[in-house]
Chain A
């Protein structure tokens, strides 16, 4: 027990001494906090139209100004954070829940027909640019947050399947796995009890990176009208609204853009930091 606490403390001290991780963590947490606060409080009702107040520039009253319907931009960005984070979280979750078992299974049955089938299936999904996949899904099932989640989620499956297969393959040759096999444990139990905990760090790092990619993908889908539908505010659609008004009201384009950039930047920095912290051997300036 005391050993565990002391390693935790060392990890915490190392984490706090890693500038990229700290900056990334602060930036990402800021937007998670905004999203959470938006459930109980926003400065204004983000869906309330007020044509009299339309296209106001940022002021003490409306921090980020108002849009062409007079809606408060700051409130919309708060609620938009909720949509972005929720879509990305579920999409990456789908990728992990489907991809990791597939990868572990392929590694446990390495070289078999099933392994080959899983990996070729992954290649096929990879060959589909994720955006096209999303376009196809929304063309058939209609636009909406759920279909955006499915499209982004499907693309995440091969990412996690490949990662966990590759990492698991090298673990299968290690002595402690041999010991577990000698002790009579089956492939499924070894995968769950010994392989999974050992690749968890890798999965967390990749998950952070995929999370940031998912936020960018969600914004792109919403921008072309295939993401969350009105009246729910989303960063991508706020940018689509801003496009025709860019010369008249540049603030409408700037703030949602900054929100996306800061969130993605934060997640990437955090991912890089976590990779360094989890695996000091790999540490180098990338």
Chain B
């Protein structure tokens, strides 16, 4: 396990370095230099010189990259040009919305997908199976931001059960804050739940056809006993992989959903920064999200290796 862990840690660090290099370089190839890009054509030469100095643009490229990474490691992302506050402050505020939203959606997606997938697999080719499969086919075809708008139309505009957008803040209490995240989380969860339900179903069907399932039945277990005691646990491994992957989809998908519901999360922040050409903020939000995705993938890998010793020996 130690050797496996070390190997995975090296590959994790390489991924993080490569990702930071890519993000750094993309932001460097803007027309002109980043400072003149951010300030526009009619920039005051004094302001331009000051921003160049702040961003260290006189330094050679490799030095600037190293300085940036050194800052990142200490939680220093630089100062936002438009907000005039440290980017780390902006981000830590917004994460408190984006992260709970992602986790909420992940929980919903799992809660919907598990029963649906299990019922479909247990009653294969029944009416229940066909409706689950039909619903998932539709679920993956629906754009989540459109579904979000329809949820607003039905539950906020017509039924008035929820507000159409905005966030009261966690200070307003857990209940109201969670309520404000409910419609966004449902909108985010729907397509992912469809994918997860399909994976759950096909993984369970594969397991149900295994020899050990016949043995379990032969020793006298009923169909549902065998399913709950033996099949489900074995079917879960591919399902967990997909749940790990979904974290990144939900985190990125949240960027768009936040815009539908006017939630002041990382998504709103990054789009505002794009319109204001605040590259320092764009770069920081992107790298935070990419790092989160890479680290979660790494943790999921570790969790499997802990659960299934066979995986430690395989490289891919």
Contact = CB atoms under 8 A, between A and B. Distances in A.
B141 A264 contact: yes
A247 interface: yes
Contacts of A137: 26
A136 B141 contact: no
Interface string A208-223: 0000100010011001
A140 interface: yes
B143 interface: yes
A136 B252 CA distance: 13
A129 B293 contact: yes
B265 to A, nearest CB: 14
A86 interface: no
B289 to A, nearest CB: 6
A243 B164 CA distance: 11
Contacts of B133: 285
Interface in A263-286: 264-265, 268-269, 285-286
B113 interface: no
Given A123-B15, A129-B251, A253 B140 contact: no
Contacts of A261: 138, 141-143, 146
Contacts of A127: 15, 19, 248, 290, 293-294, 297
Contacts of B293: 127-129
A268 B140 contact: yes
A135 interface: yes
B23 A265 contact: no
Contact of B248 (A129, A219, A264): A129
B143 A216 contact: yes
Contacts of B137: 265, 268-269
Given A129-B289, A257-B150, A285-B133, A265 B256 contact: no
Nearest to B279: A139
Interface string A237-266: 001001100110010010011001110110
- Which range holds the interface residue count of chain A? 35 or more
A51 interface: no
B101 interface: no
B294 A136 contact: no
Given A129-B289, A224-B259, A243 B149 contact: yes
A40 B251 CA distance: 42
B253 A260 contact: no
B282 interface: yes
Given A136-B26, A136-B27, 8 more contacts: A120-B14, A130-B252, A137-B26, A216-B143, A219-B146, A239-B146, A246-B153, A257-B149
22 contacts: A127-B19, A127-B294, A127-B297, A129-B251, A130-B252, A132-B289, A135-B270, A138-B274, A140-B26, A212-B141, A220-B143, A224-B256, A239-B143, A247-B157, A253-B146, A253-B150, A257-B150, A260-B141, A262-B141, A268-B137, A285-B124, A286-B202
Interface of A: 120, 123-124, 127-132, 135-140, 212, 216, 219-220, 223-225, 239, 242-243, 246-247, 250, 253, 256-257, 260-262, 264-265, 268-269, 285-286
The 10 closest A-B pairs by CB, nearest first: A129-B252, A264-B141, A265-B141, A257-B146, A247-B157, A131-B252, A139-B274, A139-B282, A261-B141, A140-B30
